[in-house]
Amino acid sequence: MINKTTLDNGVRLVTERLEHAYSVTAGLWMEVGSRDEEPAQGGISHFIEHMAFKGTAKRDALAIARELDRMGGMANAFTSKEITCFHARTLAELLPEIADLLTDIFLFPSYPAPELERERQVILQEISSVEDAPDELVHVLFGRDYWPESPMGRPVLGDAESVGAVSRQDLVDYLAGSYVPAKLVVAAVGDLEHERLVELMAPALSGLPVSTGRNHRQPPSPQPGLRVHRRDSEQVHVAMGAPGPSAKDPDRFAGALLNVILGGNMSSRLFQEVREKRGLAYAVFSYLSSYSDAGLFGVYLGVAPGRSPEALKVVKDELARLAVEPVSHEELVHAKEHTKGSILLAAENSDSRMSRLARNEFNFGRDVPLEEVVANIEAVQVEDLTRVAARCLDPKVLGITVLGPADAEGLASEVAS
């Protein structure tokens, strides 16, 4: 059963009771991410996430670590382009302890100077690790190339310059200006009573002052075309993308199925054409990233330097074919079964259920039952896939970022053809 309470200041608490669970998974979800940062603030949302477990007014970093270890549970946090989340899972009987700990690290971080400087070095190493991983770096470069005028194009981690410049006061000011009640959803799943969670967390969360916060979000404007970043490496890494359905777009179900058919599994067209039939790549896949007001159909592949134009042609041909040639009935059925299976299997995981609660609240203001999702997937027809492909995979809006010792002339010729 799903229950929801909205506090007077706008904080929403949403729970789902699981009768046979032994645990509780709870998260504080703030609708603030890297797309809400100014250019000079790059990575500050992620920095705040890192600092959450580094001390509060009543617990230092070691006390937080010991308390989590004593409870035998799990606690973590993550930052994305649109969300910052602090979450934990523990035995149901320890709900009061984990509720107190989560509200403490969320509301009262102390940002001690020694911990801040240590964590800055950790984040700088995290940024460096991406620089050393071309299969990750190419996606960072693609974001900058495809959405150069939008904060959506900047990396969640920030860069060495922006992270190196963050001060304690910057963290305090950003938290005060961005972490506002209307953007906060508490989501909890497991062996719990809704009223008990509200009783435990409402007193602290009610203290958040009512504020609208900053809201500068604008849908990103794509800048299509080919960009080649030369670098010595054993492979050429290619990231491609085109606009896709947003998280609220009715076409998101057709988009999800289209992604499965294109490159979402081993029987997909790209896997079969690029890897199995031609041996052009070890890794090749597509993905669909859906945000609150935008989306991205993406493709990644890593190929031998001399074969990048050939691989690009194969991918372009498959994208074009989807927009004009209806998929087979068998492909559609397989995509539906794959998608439904993935969704329903994930529903057996309490972290996934918690995430669904929070994201549905952000996007729709209500719970979206799994039965409704499955029905929408089943309702997609072949002509819907062709229409969405024609709308989203137009070569005129395709962005291509290439990293490595690429044949730039050959790639440019292929793109122009």
What are the angstrom distances between the C-alpha of 219 and each of 123, 178, 278, 362, 365? Answer: 28, 19, 38, 17, 20
- Which of these, 46, 34, 241, 240, lies nearest to 151 by C-alpha position? 34
pLDDT reported for residue 214? 66
Q: What pLDDT does residue 213 have?
A: 65
pLDDT for the residue 209: 87
Alpha-carbon gap, residue 333 to 339, rounded angstroms: 10
How far is the C-alpha of 94 from the C-alpha of 69, rounded, in Å? 13
Q: Is 214 exposed, middle or buried (0-12, 13-18, 19+ CB in 10 A)?
A: middle
Q: Does domain 225-416 have CATH number 3.90.245.10?
A: no
310 is catalytic: no
Which residues face 387 on adjacent strands? none
Residue 339's Cβ-count burial label (10 Å; 0-12, 13-18, 19+) is buried
User: How far, in Å, CA of 322 to CA of 97, rounded?
Assistant: 52
Q: Give the residue extent of every domain in the chain.
A: 2-205, 225-416
Confidence (pLDDT) at 31: 96
Structure tokens at 228: 């080649």
Which residue has 């995981």 as its token pair?
349
The set of residues, in sequence order, having a beta carbon less than 8 Å from that of 346 and lying 6+ positions away, is 352
Specify which residues 109 forms β-bridges with.
56
d(CA 153, CA 148): 6
Residue 206 CA, chain-centre distance (Å), reads: 28
Q: Let me know if the fold of 2-205 is the same as that of 225-416.
A: yes
What is the four-CA torsion angle of 133, 135, 136, 141, rounded to 10 degrees?
A: 110
Per-residue pLDDT of the chain (417 residues; tens, 9 = 90+): 899 999 999 999 999 999 889 999 999 999 999 999 999 999 999 999 999 999 999 999 999 989 988 888 788 999 999 999 999 999 999 999 999 999 999 999 999 999 999 999 999 999 999 999 999 999 999 999 999 999 999 999 999 999 999 999 999 999 999 999 999 999 999 999 999 999 999 999 998 888 776 667 899 999 999 999 999 999 999 999 999 999 999 999 999 999 999 999 999 999 999 999 999 999 999 999 999 999 999 999 999 988 999 999 999 999 999 999 999 999 999 999 999 999 999 999 999 999 999 999 999 999 999 999 999 999 999 999 999 999 999 888 999 999 999 888 888 887 877
The one catalytic residue among 16, 31, 37, 49: 49
The string of DSSP letters for 326-381 reads: PPPHHHHHHHHHHHHHHHHHHTTSHHHHHHHHHHHHHHHSS---HHHHHHHHHH--
The residue among 172, 152, 214 whose CA lies nearest residue 48 is 172
Return the pLDDT at 210.
Answer: 84
CATH architecture designation of domain 2-205: 2-Layer Sandwich (3.30)
Asked if 304 contacts 236 with a C-beta cutoff of 8 angstroms, the reply is yes
Closest CA to 15 of 150, 192, 163, 156: 192
